[in-house]
Amino acid sequence: MNFRIDAVDLLRWLHFLSLGVGLGAAVVVLLLSGFEEGRDDLQGLAATVWSKVVTWSVRLSIVAGIALLVLAIQGGRNPMKNGSYFHLKMLLVLILAGLTEMTPKGLAAGRRGAALLMLVLFLGTSFVVFNKTLFGAKPRFAPAVVAAPVAAVPPIK
């Protein structure tokens, strides 16, 4: 068995794990914010959990993603050249990072709009990543067209 672990695999797992923690915590925070409305003892809990768990997991995933990009470029691959999906992903990640940083203040005031928008953008970014061929990526190999020999057909009179 080959148990060779390289830096790219380790960073990729760290990236996915931190994104999973962030997504799960975002759903939990949205549920918590619904319970805060009628109870004074729970006020501010959703904002605190968001700022401690979701914000830090998104930050960690962005750092791991930047490290993955640097290692990919050093390895001779450049995701920026393979198709326009990566540019779209980077735009969504930038918006997502901004919303993640703004959301605790909104949650503390009882507004869930930024948290819901962040969750939708997270799911949209995941859709873009897993469906790369929908956004301009070209197939590496074109299918070979094989022409069958045409038999001589007598003219119709």
pLDDT tens profile 81-103: 766 577 778 888 899 899 889 88
Residues 100, 94: Cα–Cα separation, whole Å: 10
- In a domain? residue 16: yes
- In a domain? residue 152: no
Give yes or no for a contact between 7 and 75, defined as CB atoms under 8 angstroms apart: no
Total domain count, the chain: 1
- In a domain? residue 74: yes
Question: Which residue, 95, 92, 99, 93, is CA-closest to 26?
Answer: 99
pLDDT at residue 62 in the model: 93
What is the span of the domain harbouring residue 97?
7-135
- In a domain? residue 108: yes
pLDDT at residue 118 in the model: 86
- In a domain? residue 114: yes
pLDDT tens for the chain, 157 residues long, are 667 778 888 898 999 999 899 989 999 988 888 877 777 777 788 888 989 999 999 999 999 999 988 888 888 877 777 665 777 788 888 998 998 898 888 888 888 888 888 888 888 888 877 776 665 555 556 666 666 666 666 777 6
